[in-house]
Structure 1
Amino acid sequence: MSTDSDSTAQADQRRLQLELLRRARADAARRSTTAAPDDTAARTGRVPLSRAQRRMWLMERLGGAGDSYHVPFATRVRGPFDPAALATALGALVERHTILRTRYAEQDGEPVQEVLPAPGTVPVPVVDTAEADAPALLREEAARPFDLAAGEAVRARVLRHGAQDHTVLLTFHHIAIDGGSLETVADELAAFYTAALEGSGPPASLTAPPQYADYARREHDGIPGLGPELDRWSALLAGATPPRLPAPAARTTTGSAAVHTVPLAPALPDALRALGAEHRATLFAVSLTAAFGALHRLTGDDDLVIGVAGTHRAGIGMRGLVGLCVNTLPVRVDASGDPSFVQLLIRVRDALLQAQRHRHLPFDLALERLGATARGADGTALVRVTCDVLGEPTVLRLPGTSAAYVDVPTGGAKFTLSYGLAPADAERPTALVQFDRDALDEAAAEATVRDYAALLDAAATTPELPLSALSGLSGQTRRKGDPGSAAHPAVRVLRAHPQVADALVVKTDQGPTVAYAVLGDSTGPSGGELLALLRRSLAPEEVPAAVTLLDELPETTARIPGPAGPAGAALPGPRAAAVIEAFTALLGLTPPPDGDFFELGGHSLVAVQLAERLRTRLGLPLTGLDVLQTRTPSALTALLDERAARQAAAKATARPARPRAVHPGTVLVTGASGGVGAFVLRELAARGRPVLALARPESAHLIAAEGVDVVEGDLTDLAGLRHAVASADAIVHAASTFTRPEVDLAAMEAMVEAWSGGPFVFVSSVDAYGHPRTPQVVEEAPPHEPLSPYGRAKGDCEAMVLRAAGTGGRGGASAVRSPIVWGAHERLREQLRWGAIGTLYQAAARGEAIEVPRPGAGGHPWYGAAWVHAAALARAVTACLDRPVHGVANAVSGHVSWQELAHDLTDLLGTDAEIRERDDVPRDLDHRWHYDSRRLARPLRALPGEDRRSVLAEMIGTTASGPTGQRPGRT
């Protein structure tokens, strides 16, 4: 064979080898984008969730996330656009990344993830839409719930505004994606779209990506080795509490997030970068410093925590990973001492570096180590405030088209308050805050974004000035008041409240001590709420008889209105005369102004009778617990005067009376001004249910709210009860007299007579079981003697409504038996202090010995009580409207022994009261039963902050780790 022919053969062979190599590479690339995910699925089977996924899954199961964790990704696409090619591309993307076709199930009580087969294509519906209608449609589509159990993690919709004008919306669930994934998704989707248009195979440049299931398994397997680092991180966060943000005057019914913005100078980001460079800090650290300064001004707190976004993405092995890899990093900073911006920046920089050393540790593991101490008294989590610097948003860039970002806001807020500098590289940068309108006051949010912007500006111009000397900050300088009054501890507590602009305490020689407060805005806490704050913070002798709100403080105390005015008679006025008369009639003697109710022979039943007598005569809200708390005629008179002022103010600002509209699905709620009723109203409002609330005339102004119509009446007004029942499509009966069973029975009979349709939910009591023979009480167990009159009346009322259910067009009925109810409501707080277990509370508060029955005394191994969180009870009651029990169900959050409760109370009150066990069983503590609670287990499932320790802390007014007041141990 000639040399030329040999050369030709070698060349042909070489070309063949190259072609085979090319085909092999193409086939490998094709298999890497299709078969590889299935191989991973075969290897993984069911794997545990990552810690971040687990948090998302729990939020979905608890029903508290709404659309907060939906990730809408919208782009305005102008030019030739092919929806079919997008559907093919989206199918290829879902096939490539198994996390986008993963379902979430529960196995042995734990969540697991399981990869599903590739769907082929993902539907891309196209809707012709006018441009003006687009925002509402995008918002509606982004808010649609996901079914995580079915493996739904992404969906598409295209709005067609014209032949070459479309808005493409992809909505992901956050459990499957994070911000770091969007760039990967956008790039790969554009590549697959191009291939679909050209009819070619998958792009050879896309090699097999890492799969999220492998990452989740690695994280899960590595957790046991994180113990020492978690201990160190937890130690750094020990004692930190959530910032105390000013709560809104009333909850919204929308639950939506809101944003306030302030435009900044175009050159400001560069100036902030220069400042950061001088102090070895990034632009983000400078922005975070301004957020700490604004938060310090908003709350008055020195020890502050702000969360920043971290990521578990590290190394080339995670390049191209689609999934949820975010981690929250809490940054804890001491803002005390009125630092300059530069001084605060150095503190923030060091704290940020310290937090970033722990970025690979899942934050929720540290929270588990910290326990309830990392939550506020209201159950809020440690990180409720965040900060970020935002870049240019990601858009979907398809060939032959132009792309513009479209903002699609979600309805919920992931955090209570978030500061942001956005976009950092644009010509028109902006300072913004996003906030949850259910948890933060609107005016406070507006003020804090102005402070944030002012601090950013000051950082570029006058960074050496103390924060207090910077101009442009919002807020009022607090008055110093009279030297004498400013020394009163109540003044200091009131002025420390972020929504109180000024305060004054006045005491006359013979009248009671009364506090007066001026709010910094038109909305804020009521006088009663401020009085409750003082009771939680001060010793009894330091607490004024009342807190009255004024528009401004007069220059002299002679112009102060109310019971602490000019000296004269000890208790002037008609309300004082009524109080003295009631004391005299029920106790058989004329009391002195400061005579103690108990020392005069009073007890709980007399307190109820005295309150009912005064309520009827004066037309003011009053309970027996109020009498037990105030104790003296002078203090009770001051309380009535304060409530009269609030009632008059409410009536003066009330909207004109209007005919009550009849809304389909209206729920009648009795006892709406009580502790349980208030939580039921809140739950119904959150679900958008129209409400008709029954309240006594003197209390009607306390519950007026959007979506709630108030009808005046009580259980003794049988005609009014019948009319209210007939006006509603469902009934929640939560009212009770506690001491007059005959009134309860007559009221239930009247309500059942008027009930003609819809469900009926009766909030009953475990007292209806009496004294069961077995320690474990199943639902609907028969009653056993002895039964209290209260418990017998509850059982008789249950029988009435359950017999009538389903007859005469009536709906289903549910009797929800609850034990002790705990929650953040003044009525429930007072019951803790003065109710059935008030002896434990009072002994713990005074530091006296607490006596409890010894386990085994009387032949019973356990003594204690069942309890339920008021919010969980409200969820259970509301659930019965949609799915009646058709019988009796228990609503129990947990059981606590008397020893455990005594330890909780002494810890939270900060006293060292001795706990003594005794062999005889005091009558009030002779409770030894556990109650099954299976029928309503789902709505009763505890949400964050609903554990026993946290709810007791919020009722007592402490953090879960100890008291917050100035005089712990006193009440």
Structure 2
Amino acid sequence: MTTAAHREQEELLRLAREHARNRAPVPPRPAGPAPLSHAQRRMWLMDRLSRAGAAYHVPFATRLRGPLDVAALERALTALVTRHEVLRTRYGQRDGEPYQEVVAPQPVPVTVVDADGDGSRQLAEEAAGRFDLTTGPVLRTLVVRHGPEDHTVLLTLHHIAVDGGSLALLADQLGALYEQVRDGRPLTTEPAPSYLEFARRERDRDSSAVTHWAERLAGARPVPLPRPSTSAGPRRGEGRTLAAPLPPDVMAGLRRTGKAYGATVFTVVLAAAFAALHEITGTDDMVIGCASGQRERGLVGLCVNTLPIRVRWAGARDAGALLPRVRAALLDAQHHRDTPFDLIVERLGDAGRDREGNSLVDVSLDVLGDPPALRLPECTAEPVEIDLEAAKFGLALCLEETTGNGPRCVLRYDRTRLDEQTAHRLLRSFANLLQGMAADPVLPLPYPRVEAILRNRPEVADAVVLPRDGTRPLAYVVPSGTGSPTPDRLLTALRARLEPAAVPLAVTVLDALPRSSDGTVDRSRLPGAAETTAAPVRPLSERVQLVMAAFGEVLGEIPGPDGDFIALGGQSLMAVRLAEDLRARLRLPLTGLDILEHRTPSALAALLDERARQREQSAPARRRSGTRPGTVLVTGATGGVGAFIVRELVARGHPVRALARPDSAHLVHGSDIEVVEGELADPDSLRAAVSGADAVIHAACTFTAPDVDRAAMRALLDGWQHGPFVFVSSIDAYGQPTGTSVAEGAATEEPLSPYGRAKLDCEQMLWTASAEDRGAGCAVRAPIVWGPHPRLRDQLRWGATGSLFQAVQHGGTVPLPDDGWYGTPWVHAAALARAIVACAERQVHGVVNAIGGHIRWAELATELAQLLDTSAEPVRTPGPALPELRRAPHFDAQTLAAHLAEQPGEDWRSTIRAMLGGVVC
């Protein structure tokens, strides 16, 4: 072995050892062959059948002008392959099934050749060269030298190891490693996520949503692309690429159109693709495939999944009608994006292909930005496109937005699936539709093209087309007086310009078109209109429009009436902001949890309509003149805890002053209750509310705004003059105790959550005020509170137990920690109210706990699965569990034990059943 080779091997071994030291601890891998992910298995099968050719090669080329150190590039590539196991994986076969095996790192050679002409032939031949997946490698490198400081670096990878999203990550890391080698610094090999583990988790993932997909795609067929007239010539998979430039301002226009309909640019482009295909094929029911990434941070590999988007035309005449349908179909697909496409195909069986064997998803769409480039120090980089003349799909449409060349439409097609003339027509139609939709959101779609053809006939003065569900449209014309328009002649003219499915079923000649009072054509009065099933478009109510506008202010884009808050990027804090905004505008009770429960403008507007009716039907808020002796102020009187406290105080004969927000004051029930309006964010209203009260029970909390909670506590303490002050605190104020049992008032242990820190700070304010001899200060630390109240029900579904509830509701495996006691303390709201009122009556000092019991997560998950009637199964796993299910110790509650004693109907199972009694799942 030469000295240089020996040094190279030593460096490789050092990198491997460093990589092993730096890797984060992971559970031991199961014995036996590692499975392939579903997408990898498809790549492997295509390779075994020799049907893929170069279609699944991923060439990544960059033209570099400047000094290139090839030896440094080799060392950087070796370090890169050492870091990412998927780049040094080979694929064997056992008992007819493939498996993947990671091999030890080896030096990565870089071949350097002088350019033959411009070097394009050499690059294309290298990119098309066959891979042997059984032996590997899945990465090879070629450098074409155009001059002393002018090179093209080509990395050719197999799709089984990477997807498009991996290339930018590899480029960034390779550039950083190259720079470290050039600078003489030690190579760093930060641990990278394992694709083997990704594949295993995908295999273990719940696949129950495949039933949803099977129902969604029932009866769908591949898009009927016009085929070439003869099968002689090109072979299957042989591709051709066409491109058409677009005006520079088209992207800004598409964004404006998307914003007007609460849609992304991708949705608008997808709608244009459906419209262009409809114009070419006349098909009213189509499926287009879209890529969906499932990448974990830092993971290199084949992490892309295909989503089949099905849209039915059903008489849509413009973008305003088509966009909401496309958007709804895309949102539905994204909600079920974790189901591997291969499982869907397997479930569909023969129904997933046509007679020629074409896949149901034979048309794809993508929107791409600047391609990645390998950037090395002292070099300028320019991406190089390599056309392998291969097609993965029968047809692939794409909108590219590149910084240097501007936007363009790209169409790639399988020459055995689409004839060349139709391909050019389709590209023009797609480009024209994108430009039209960018300029006018209500751009007419293909059926008006029939109208335009008819109106251009000299014998026709006017024309209109009546779309119909599931069949061809009807056309109507008015004679111009020049010549005689006969239906047969007009149909012949249309057949010469349109695909058969787009030609109207009949053309009817009328003396005049029926018109409405505003002069527009009244299609309902056309002959045959009664046979159509297109539903009239109902105008949106003012409240729906207001909610849509409020969504837009929080999310940055205005959705349609059925836009999903979470699917559009909404989060819990954003839901709180949205609720506060709508509550202030409408003066109706609304919380962030309401937003998460009613996630579309239509659903939320319906909820607000119902609450407006409740307010109108409720008795006006009661305000008494003067304060009765012994009055107890209760903050948060309409909340999940405050409502039970008010009820308990009234039952014991205490005069009650209930503090409620102006929008929810009408929800306080009880004719002898003094109702005052105020908010935690309004300190003056709190000081006014506490004035004259002989006792205070502070039960209100924002949950999400600690500074507001602290300011509210200061305001209440400013106004507190005498009597007991009971603060409803939380066990979160204990932090994260290390012991297995926590006594009342035990020391706080870091770390604290922001919520727990705020509770502890409020307690400290109370102790300071209590020291001034104004009265007894007591903090009742409570855990999760359950009880038959809408706010508590929402907390069960979306609060501290939200992840567990949603996992159970969706069915499948629910991962739970497998060591030690994992669960949560809880208390019934009625029991908590009894304990809090007892603290006020007895003037208890200091910290006390209010714990009703402790429940294991597995028990709760099993009970929820039965009540929700899902197939969820709690499974203890050494791997990642739901993030909220951290270990929780047991908490003592000796002081209040007598008041917390369980009464009939307060056991946890009865309580959960009562909470879910009105839930529609």
- Calculate the TM-score normalised by the size of structure 2: 0.47
TM-score between both structures, scaled by the size of structure 1: 0.45
Whose helix fraction is larger, Structure 1's or Structure 2's?
1
